[in-house]
A and B are shown apart, each in its own frame.
Chain A
Amino acid sequence: MSTKDEPLVEAKGLTRSFAPRGGWFGPKGSDVRAVDHVDLVVRRGETLGLVGESGSGKSTTGRMLIRLIEPDAGSIRFDGVDLLALADRPLRAMRRQFQMIFQDPYGSLNPRMRVSTIVGEPLVIHRIGANRAERKERVAELLEQVGLSPADANKYPHEFSGGQRQRIGIARAIACLPRFIVADEPVSALDPPVQAQIVNLMADLQERMGLAYLFIAHDLRIVQHISDRVAVMYLGRIVEEAPAAELYRDPLHPYTRALLASTPSGRPGSPTAPALSGEPPSATHPPSGCRFHPRCPVAEPVCSRQDPRLLPVGGRRRVACHLVHPPGSGDRPERSS
């Protein structure tokens, strides 16, 4: 009844600002617009990779999709249901369908809880399993699914390595058979060989359970191995979105090109020259026009004046760049099918 191309999560115009942290004595600055009119779709059973540097708004975007952060504006539909219109109680019931995996496998597990409690808690909350024995059995099953042993249920988080803790976090996330998981930098705190284990585990679970992922990361190398499509964010905006293989083979936005060029190739003796000078500007005072133009190696005068829109390129890609879509040349409104 549901095909893979159907959108599971559909967000339009997501926007969120934060008051700057000035503290008591800090200056009263203007708000920081962390996410600015982001449209994105995650289809059933697919992985959308969301990449960008720190401060690009990727975590805020991910959390808004599952209403861990409330958007200031925009709409989110989950399986056709308007998430932002839901009252507390129906939202809570809905929550078993979308879960989160966090970056820090050390900070995201309660150190005083046994693994059985951590993984079993969602089952209690969502009233899954008739009794304690049934839940215990389910926890054992979940631990096996993520490559741990049922005997690990009686241990505490500190008895595990970083990679094993991330497996516990994944077991907790899949406990209620969700359909969508936001994974926020799930492997960036881990060593590369362990990263590979966790990414492969996530891919296996996806296949087995038909999960959809929003996989947030700053390392483009790892994203490639799990994503069907990749969206690139810069200062609160999506600047490019494409099927993964196309994005890596033929990046269109100068920022995507710079990110790929800055990523170590892993080939001896070919140093990566810095593709960009300078640092990302502050989101408090984003540059005029295209937000990337002050660092863009190919910027033209129009780029500082006019804000490029995220427009389709071919059937499956979108790019926000004046060089790809010269202003005034058959400029169509962004709203596509």
Chain B
Amino acid sequence: MGRLLEIEDLQVHYDGPRGPVRAVDRLSLCIEQGETYALVGESGCGKTATGLAILRLVEPGWIAGGKILFQGRDLMGLTEREMRRVRGGGVGLVFQEAAAALNPVMRVGAQIVEGLRIHRGMGRREAWSEAVRLLRLVSMNDPERNVRAYAHELSGGMKQRVMLAIALSGSPALLIADEPTTALDVTIQAQILALLRRLKAELGLTVLLITHDLGVVAENADRVGVMYAGRLVEEAPVAGLFEDPKHPYTRGLLRAMPTTGRDGAAGAPGRRVRLQTLPGSVPDPSAPPPGCRFHPRCPEVFWPCALSEPRDLVVGPGRRALCFLHDPSVAAAPASPQARGDRP
């Protein structure tokens, strides 16, 4: 085990319709070799921008600051040419829109072969047989035949397998999977997630899993980072996050998570179980609230929250939270007892 990826004080900005937007603000995290690190949060929280920043693909935005060390090398210092080698080799990417990412007029095999010839210098014949091997690796049925298929002939699940084969073609150390199963049916989602777990074990992959679905996180991640309005507000090992969430936003997300309730959550027959919610909605990214960005929606808000930004605090082994509730320098100060709230 060692650190495969270290992100320090990352800033991703872009021009919004109402002024510059800090899509990612002072984000720091480390991903260990061989683990699955999940980034969760609502749309617009900056999780996708973080993933793309690792590949330096944030245009039309830009990386306004910070360091990204991948295998010890600062990616911010690489030339565009060297960066292309990282994208085709060390870091693979799959995202939600497999259908949109594949070229409709090229056989899927040719799209796998393209990368193999450019990045691994393979000859035609060798690359085609490698493409078949990669399709077999991602459990594509009948890979010899489907290597010659066009995207429209394949189902959503099979297209996502092709995307995975392309992402794996450069033998990456890190796979960034951005909502890889969001567009898929639930039985296919289970297949793709099982495939990711198998690939991780077989190939020793490290995975950055970006998703809004805490159910997927629970079952697939080793560690979790929770993002809100551009900031990483909590980080924890997966069991700790679900058992004892430290940030009120994480608590709200977990409460609002629907389950199938076979473990007793379902009420008596005929009685529906009301979902708990988080009031309000995410702030306008071009005008985030002062202080803690979550404070206008926070059920546990108290006096310092609107005044200044909370510090990134260590709140347990391997755990961080960006919240005044855990800040000893303010916790001693008078706070109304009700505002502190009870832990669920």
Residues of A within 8 A of B (CB): 53-54, 161-164, 191-197, 199-200, 203, 218-222, 224-228, 243-246, 248-249, 258-280
Interface 9-mer from B96-104, B268-276, B302-310: B268-276
Residues of chain B within 8 A (CB-CB) of A197 are 277-279
> If the complex has contacts A194-B281, A245-B268, A249-B262, are A269 and B185 also in contact, measured as CB distance less than 8 A?
no
Q: Are A269 and B258 in contact (CB under 8 A)?
A: no
Judging by beta carbons under 8 Å apart, are A274 and B187 in contact? yes
A301 to chain B, nearest CB (A): 24
Q: Kindly state whether residue B252 has any CB partner on chain A within 8 Å.
A: yes
Contact partner, A53, options B186, B220, B243, B268, Cβ 8 Å: B186
Query: Which one of B156, B190, B191, B274 has the greatest number of beta carbons of chain A within 10 Å?
Result: B190
CB of B271 within 8 A of CB of A245, answer yes
Q: Give the shortest distance, in Å, between A249 (CB) and chain B (any CB).
A: 6
Instruction: Indicate if the CB atoms of B187 and A259 lie closer than 8 Å.
Output: yes
> What 0/1 pattern do residues 40 to 80 of B give for CB contact below 8 A with A?
00110000000000000000000000000000000000000
Known contacts A224-B260, A268-B242; decide if A192 and B190 are in contact (CB<8 Å): no
Select the stretch in B114-122, B162-170, B208-216, B327-335 that faces chain A: B208-216
Residues from chain B with Cβ under 8 Å of A196 in the complex: 256, 258, 275-278
Q: Which of A191, A218, A220 counts the most chain B CB atoms within 10 A?
A: A191
Is there contact, CB below 8 Å, between B269 and A243?
A: yes
Q: Answer yes or no: B149 CB below 8 A from chain A CBs.
A: no
Closest Cβ of chain B to A94, distance in Å, is 29
A259–B186 touching, CB < 8 Å? yes
Decide yes or no: A264 and B277 within 8 Å by CB, A192-B258, A277-B191 being known contacts.
Answer: no
**B interface size (C-beta, 8 A):** 56
- Chain A CB within 8 A of B238 CB: yes
B272 touches A192 (CB 8 A): no
- Chain B 220-250 near chain A by CB (<8 Å), digits 1 or 0: 1000000000000000001101110000000
CB of B261 within 8 A of CB of A248, answer yes
Whether B187 lies near A276 (C-beta < 8 A) is: yes
Say yes or no: B272 contacts A279, CB within 8 Å: no
* Contact call B218/A264, Cβ cutoff below 8 A: yes
| Pairs A–B under 8 Å by Cβ, sample size 9 | A192-B42, A194-B42, A200-B277, A221-B258, A224-B266, A245-B268, A259-B186, A261-B190, A271-B219
Q: Provide the residues of chain B in CB contact with A226, threshold 8 Å.
A: 272
Contact indicator per residue, chain B 276-296, by CB within 8 Å of chain A (1) or not (0): 111101100000000000000
Interchain CB contact (< 8 A) of A266 among B42, B187, B218: B218
Shortest C-beta distance, A210 to chain B (Å), equals 16
Q: Closest CB-CB distance, B158 to chain A, in whole Å?
A: 7
Closest B residue, CB atoms, query A262: B190
Asked if residues B215 and A245 are in contact (CB atoms below 8 Å), the reply is no
Point out the residues of chain B lying under 8 angstroms from A267, CB to CB.
218-219, 242, 263
Considering the complex, give the chain A residue whose CB is closest to the CB of B221: A268
A263 surroundings in chain B (CB, below 8 A): 186, 215, 260
* A163 surroundings in chain B (CB, below 8 A): 281
Q: Which residues of B contact A258 (CB under 8 A)?
A: 187
Contact of B148 with A by CB under 8 A = no
The answer to whether B266 and A245 have CB atoms under 8 Å apart is yes
Residue B194, interface by CB 8 Å: yes
Distance to closest chain A CB from B309 (angstroms): 22
Interface string of B171-196 (1 = CB under 8 A from A): 00000000000000111111101100
Would you call B266 and A193 a contact (CB within 8 A)? no
Residue of B nearest to A201 (CB): B277
| A200–B274 CB distance below 8 A | yes
Checking B42, B215, B216 against A191 with a beta-carbon cut-off of 8 angstroms, the contacting residue is B42
Q: How far is the CA of A99 from the CA of B43 in the complex (A)?
A: 29
Q: Return the contact of B213 from the options A200, A225, A264 (Cβ within 8 A).
A: A264
B129 located at the interface, meaning its Cβ lies under 8 Å from any Cβ of chain A in the complex: no
Contacts of A161 in B (CB 8 A): 281-282
A213 to B155 CA separation, bound complex (whole angstroms) = 31
Indicate whether B253 reaches chain A with its CB closer than 8 angstroms.
Answer: yes
Contacts of A274 in B (CB 8 A): 187, 190-191, 194
Complex CA–CA separation, A112 to B158 (angstroms):
39
Residues of chain A with a CB closer than 8 A to B260's CB: 220-221, 224, 248, 260, 263, 265
- Distance A261 CA – B190 CA, assembled complex (angstroms): 9
Q: How far is the CA of A274 from the CA of B42 in the complex (A)?
A: 26
B267 contacts across to A, CB distance below 8 A = 245
Find out whether the CB atom of A244 lies under 8 angstroms from the CB atom of B257: no
Which B residues lie within 8 Å of A268 (CB)?
218-219, 238-239, 241-243
A279 x B188 contact (CB < 8 A): yes
| Chain B residues closer than 8 Å to A275, beta-carbon distance | 187, 190
Complex Cα distance A271/B216, Å?
A: 9
Bound Cα distance A221, B189 (Å): 14
- In the complex, what residues of A have CB within 8 A of residue B266's CB? 224, 244-245, 248-249
Measured CB to CB, the nearest residue on chain A to B273 is: A225
Complex Cα spacing A152 to B276, Å: 26
B246 to chain A, nearest CB (A): 16
Q: Cα distance A244–B272 when bound, in Å?
A: 8
Whether A265 touches B218, Cβ cut-off 8 Å, given contacts A191-B43, A193-B253, A274-B191, is: yes
Contact A271 B193, CB 8 Å, known A192-B258, A196-B258, A227-B272: yes
Which residues of chain B have C-beta atoms less than 8 A from A278's C-beta?
141
Give complex CA distance A25, B186 in Å: 34
> CA of A267 to CA of B261 in the docked complex: distance in angstroms?
11
Q: Which B residues touch A228, using CB under 8 A?
A: 270, 272
A276 to B243, CA, bound (A): 30
Instruction: Report yes or no: B191 in contact with A224, Cβ–Cβ below 8 A.
Output: no
**Which chain A residues lie closer than 8 Å to B262 at the CB level?**
248-249, 260, 265
